[in-house]
Amino acid sequence: MKIPLGKYKFLNPMDEENMILAQKDGKDGYIDINDNILIPFIYDDLSVFSDNGLASAQVKDKFGAINRKGEIVIPFRYDRLNYFYKSGLAIIIKNGKHGFINKNGKEIIPPIYNSVDQSMNDSVMFVKNKDKWAIFNNKGEQLTDFIFDNHGEDIIVESKYGFEGREGTTYFIDGAIKLSKNGKIGLLNRNLEEVLEFGKYDNIFKFNQKGFAIIQNKTKYGIINSKGKIVLDIIYD
Q: How many Å apart are CA 226 and CA 195, to the nearest integer? A: 8
Contact 29, 46 (CB under 8 A): yes
Contact 116, 100 (CB under 8 A): yes
What's the burial of 127, exposed, middle or buried (CB within 10 Å: 0-12/13-18/19+)? buried
Is residue 216's pLDDT more than 90? yes
pLDDT tens, residue by residue, 25-41: 999 999 999 999 999 99
**What pLDDT score was predicted for residue 60?**
96
Contact 192, 225 (CB under 8 A): no
Percent of the chain past pLDDT 90, that is, above it, reads: 84
Neighbours of 199 (CB within 10 A): 13
**What pLDDT score was predicted for residue 154?**
64
Q: What is the pTM of this model?
A: 0.89
Whole-number average pLDDT of the chain: 92
